Amino acid sequence: MKKLSILLALCMIFVLAAGCAAASPTAAPGGPTEGATDADTGTDTEAASEGKLINDDQLIMATNAAFPPFEFVNENNEFDGFDVHLAGAIADILGVELVIEDMEFTAALAAIAAGQADVAIAAITIREDRLETMDFSTPYFETTIVAIVPEGSDITSPDDLKEARIAVQFGTTSDIFCADYLPDATITRLNRAPDTVLELNNGQVDAIVIDKAVADQFIDDNPGLRILEEPLGSESYGIAVRKGNAELLGAINAALAELKGNGEYDRIYAMFFGGADEDTDTES
């Protein structure tokens, strides 16, 4: 009988010791214990970057609101433009609030790479080098790169730009194009696209190299300028998301397809370009 009592007492000691050991680490309910590794929890930094949104109820958009008609600040001091309305329509489909962060173009790209914004939407051309640090949606806009010159300019073709003084927006594909294909030209790089027009109107440069849709806007606003008939190149715009954020990318692609399928994309396009987008595949 005494032996049985001793055995029962020993069993109780082992049970209590096991319970204390299980309860000892400090941890938030449902969270990893202190000192747990990524392998232990299955929630490493790469997996975290694949989460949908920075804030569950917001779509944070990095842009450069000085690129009309895609993004600009209107007379009511509100963000406006094709990209802004498109982003708003995407946010509505996702059921979240659109939050716009205005910054320089290169900073918008950096914000995506650093995970400081959910999307960058700023007439961003899909390029192989950019795909190294971010992912892109299916293309939502097709355009060309063109040159703007004053009426009466001796520049009549792209060949005449080889030794010209050219203004571009810093960090854009127009900047990259000039660096790659016009090495003997004198390039003035400015942070805001409208400033390139000021340089041209003031006679500081001979031409502007910029996207066609923006060039059309500048021509409308600045009599005395014209666009060279022959384009310099073509490009496709995409919505940039952080590299590896497959869930958000899929949701954005689905939203774009829905907007193109139900006619909302064409309605937004007509607001800024006056008709259906003939160059963009509305079935994509």
Q: Where are the beta strands (DSSP E) in the chain?
A: 58-63, 66-67, 71-73, 79-80, 97-102, 119-120, 134-136, 141-150, 165-169, 186-190, 207-211, 225-227, 233-237, 240-242
Q: Residue 211 above 60 pLDDT? A: yes
Can you list the domains of the chain with their CATH numbers?
51-140+238-273 (3.40.190.10), 143-235 (3.40.190.10)
State phi, psi for 190 to the nearest 5 degrees. Answer: -125, 150
Tell if the pTM clears 0.85, that is, is over it.
no
**Rounded (10°) angle between helices 82-94 and 264-273:** 160
Q: Which two tokens stand for residue 53?
A: 């949104």
Q: Residue 1 above 50 pLDDT? A: no
For residue range 227-239, list pLDDT tens digits in order: 999 999 999 999 9
Residue 274 pLDDT:
85
- The full DSSP string for 89-141 is HHHHHHTSEEEEEE--HHHHHHHHHTTS-SEE-SSPBP-TTGGGTEEE-S--E
For residue range 104-151, list pLDDT tens digits in order: 999 999 999 999 999 999 999 999 999 999 999 999 999 999 999 999
Q: Residue 78 above 60 pLDDT? A: yes
